[in-house]
Amino acid sequence: MMPGRAAPATRTDAGTRDATRIYSSLTRMRSISSRVLAYAAMIAVSLVLILPLLWLFAASLKTPQLVGATPRGIDEFFAALVPTDPHFENYVEALTKRPFGLWARNTSIVVAAATVGTLLTGSMAAYAFARLRFRGKRILFTTTLSTLMLPFIVTMVPQFLMFSKVPGPSSAGNWTDTLWPLILPHWFGGGAFFIFLMRQFFMTIPVELDEAARMDGAGFFRCYWQITLPLSGPVLATVTIFSFISNWNEFLAPLIYLASRQNQTLALGLQSFRGEFSTDYHLLMAASATMTVPVLLVFFFMQRYFLKGFVMSGIAGR
């Protein structure tokens, strides 16, 4: 696409210059118009993908009558997306009908405790896999990766039985109907996916840094804690985001373990809310939106680390 190539060598200099100028301005126009086209297409795709969320927020601010109105034609459709008279009191009504505050507190405890556990114990294992030599490392790593293929459902029933038969802190004398079963498993390595992600990232950090520190008398734990971890911001951020989102959104485990209303998490509470207010769409949408917003905020504020941690880990296997 080099402009110079457009002019055959036999032409005069002036002719060459003219041809070059015309050709390059043509290419520029073509590249501008193709860029405009690209933006237009991408904006269109964005609108389609965001539409359901817009619908969610729009419905959460409407009166029940308006939610139930059927827009006909394209203008009424766009009007339906922008509530002219937003009813923010829907949120107050939805959130005070049920102990949403309590559910948010429970969810926050689970999310925070599980994420810290994953970051700590997961990065420990990842460091050993990335940096240290020990007998059985290969087989342990293969086992770790193969658990990625194991459906949660296979271990779910016996895990439930374990938490209900082993004596524990709950009122029934076991571990069910407490937040522990949702937190504890994350303090044991945090799962193969996170270990693998962090190991891949740790391996991109120059090993010479460790070696230099060891030369100065630092032990293996200092190298892990004071060299590797401080250099691993992007991947730790990625793990934090993933862990936050998956624990905030988790439904099946709370469904199995948490029985009494005051011990439930948002995901579970929202489901019971849906059972009771199944036709109050404006309230259901307000409650759903409330649960969605924190995840969106976390994602927006941390997303610039997110892709970086992902790409740099070479998770994509190249």
In the region spanning residues 35 to 74, those forming contacts with other proteins, defined by CB under 8 A, are 35, 38-39, 41-42, 45-46, 49-53, 55-56, 59, 67-74
Nearest distance in Å: CB 251, other proteins? 5
Report the residue number, 9 or 154, with the smaller CB distance to other proteins: 154
Closest CB to other proteins among 21 and 82? 82
Sign of CA dihedral 275, 61, 45, 302: negative
Which of 116, 124, 314, 135 has its CA nearest to residue 223?
Answer: 124
- The piece of 3-11, 20-28, 170-178, 241-249 that touches other proteins (CB under 8 A) is 241-249
Distance CA 288, CA 13 (A): 69
Q: Does 161 bind other proteins (CB under 8 A)?
A: yes
Q: Which of 110, 129, 143, 250 is CA-nearest to residue 195?
A: 129
Any contact of residue 110 with other proteins (CB under 8 A)? no
User: By CB under 8 A, what part of segment 189-208 binds other proteins?
Assistant: 189, 195
What residues between 215 and 234 interact with other proteins by CB under 8 A? 219-221, 224
Asked whether 175 and 169 are in contact (CB, 8 A), the reply is yes
Distances (CA, A) of 79 to 57, 178, 184: 14, 46, 48
User: What does DSSP assign to residue 260?
Assistant: S
**According to the binding rule CB under 8 A, does residue 245 interact with other proteins?**
yes
Q: Toward other proteins, which CB reaches closer, 230 or 317? A: 317
Measured CA to CA, the distance from residue 38 to residue 32 in angstroms comes to: 10
List the interface residues with other proteins, window 13-32 (CB under 8 A). none
* Residues 112-151 as x/- pattern, contact with other proteins by CB under 8 A: ---------xx-xx-xxx--xxxx-x--x--xx--xxxxx
Given candidates 2, 154, 171, 217, which one binds other proteins under the rule CB under 8 A?
154
Residue 114 Cβ, how far from other proteins at the closest point, in Å? 13
Q: How far apart are CA 248 and CA 266, in angstroms?
A: 8
CA-based nearest residue to 179, from 105, 268, 257: 257
Beta carbon nearer to other proteins, 16 or 294: 294
CA distance 61 to 87: 5
CB burial readout 149-186, b (16+ within 10 A) else e: eeeeeeeeeebbeebbeeeeebeeebbbbbbbbbbebb
Of 205, 231, 249, 305, the one binding other proteins (CB under 8 A) is 249
Q: Does 303 bind other proteins (CB under 8 A)?
A: yes
Nearer to other proteins, 2 or 14 (CB): 2
